[in-house]
Copies of this chain bind each other. A is one copy, B any other.
Amino acid sequence: MPAIKSIDWKKGRLIIIDQRQLPQRLKYLYLSDVKEVIRAIKRMSIRGAPALAGAAAFGLFLGIKDFPNNKNYSCFKKKLNYIAHLIGSARPTAVNLFWALERMLERAEENKEKPISQIKIFLLKEARQILEEDRLTCRKMAKFGCHLVKDKDRILTICNAGILATVDYGTALGVIYEAVKEGKEIKVFSLETRPLLQGARLTTWELKMNNIDVTLICDNMAAELMRRRMIDKIFVGADRIALNGDTANKIGTYNLAVLADFHKIPFYVVAPLSSFDPNIDDGSSIPIEERTPYEVTSLFFKRSIAPRGIKVLNPAFDVTPHNLITAFVTEKGIIKAPFKEKIKDLLFKR
């Protein structure tokens, strides 16, 4: 596998792939300011729940690194909370972002007796740690997920849950990379994933780069492929999972889960424990980000595809109820229904 990292930290700067430029250009952004990080998150130059955790952690560090070392912890904490709030407001649905911010704030709190200069060092270390853990977590999930994949499986996926959604391996696509490494022959079908086309632009790009057999289809073709018995399994990522297993993920995932149920195709969610929200009992409390209508009416198009001023709905995510999910793949193993107790065990016995 080519050594590509979607997010990295070098010489005081956060380096990310500008995913808006793909598949045309592999261009990196060098961010040395929290405002730039927030802008990159909002514009989706970086996206994918686990990758957002890393961006949030380093964003927070960039936001406080120049805080005067001679001030007291209470002032420092105010600043930390303020920056964390700014970053958290950039994208509301993926919980990993909040999970990372929470971890950073806790690390500061644990060290509140230490000098500010020292706390900053701990925070940078924590952010690096989040990236490093993501790499390991993805590989663990991939190994567990492999048990669900057979030779010659034809796997359908939505959006991008790969290298570009994590540091360098992926959640749903990580399982596929691992299965191929084990010598299994896998065919992947990638839903283009309107409106921002992460499937068409990102998933096909990274799978092709890794020599994996991938075919692109429009979102509305999934049912037809299932009817033709061309799909054996579905693997998707997640942006936030409630305690009962209800799962928010890219818009269209719920659509896919209903189709999978109808066609009796297993539907797997691959996500690290950081995607589970311990504060939410079910999917009804997950905030769903509504994004600008222009993503639907004129994305990348030089010309608009809809009449001027037309009303648009553009929910960026949907919630798949737990009863449509066959199993979760986490870094601690595979969770099959009934989910609730098992998820609680994993989250609260960590």
B158, B258, B310: the one contacting A258 at CB < 8 Å is B258
**A201: Cβ under 8 A from any B Cβ:** yes
Q: Which residues of B contact A280 (CB under 8 A)?
A: none
Q: Verify B312–A216 contact, CB threshold 8 A.
A: yes
Q: Verify B254–A307 contact, CB threshold 8 A.
A: no
- On chain A, the number of residues with a Cβ less than 8 Å from chain B's Cβ atoms is 55
Q: Verify A24–B194 contact, CB threshold 8 A.
A: no
**A300: Cβ under 8 A from any B Cβ:** yes
- Interface residues in A234-265 (C-beta closer than 8 Å to B): 251-252, 254-255, 258-259, 261-262
Q: Verify B255–A208 contact, CB threshold 8 A.
A: no
Contact bitstring A206-243, B, C-beta under 8 A = 1, else 0? 00100001111111111111010000000000000000
**Tally of this chain's copies:** 2
Q: Which residues of B contact A204 (CB under 8 A)?
A: 306-307, 310
> Shortest CB–CB separation between residue A320 and chain B, in angstroms?
9
Q: Which residue of B lies closest to A254 (CB)?
A: B223
Question: Most chain-B Cβ atoms within 10 A of its Cβ — which of A193, A219, A303?
Answer: A219
Q: Verify A218–B195 contact, CB threshold 8 A.
A: yes
| Dominant secondary structure at the A interface | mixed
Q: Which residue of B lies closest to A221 (CB)?
A: B251
Q: Verify A306–B255 contact, CB threshold 8 A.
A: no
Known: A223-B318, A301-B300, A318-B223. A218 touches B251 (CB 8 A): yes
**What is the CA–CA distance of A208 and B216 in the complex, to the nearest angstrom?**
33
**A304: Cβ under 8 A from any B Cβ:** yes
11 A–B pairs (Cβ distance < 8 Å), ordered by A: A189-B313, A193-B220, A204-B306, A208-B310, A214-B311, A215-B312, A216-B306, A218-B219, A218-B314, A220-B251, A261-B262
Ranked nearest first, the 8 interchain pairs of A and B with the lowest CB-CB distance are A220-B252, A223-B255, A194-B218, A219-B220, A224-B318, A215-B311, A23-B307, A302-B302
Q: 5 extra interchain contacts, Cβ-Cβ under 8 A, other than A204-B306, A221-B318?
A: A189-B313, A214-B311, A215-B313, A258-B258, A300-B305
Interface set of A (CB-CB < 8 Å, partner B): 23-24, 158, 189, 191-195, 197, 200-201, 204-205, 208, 213-225, 227, 251-252, 254-255, 258-259, 261-262, 296-297, 300-307, 310-315, 318-319
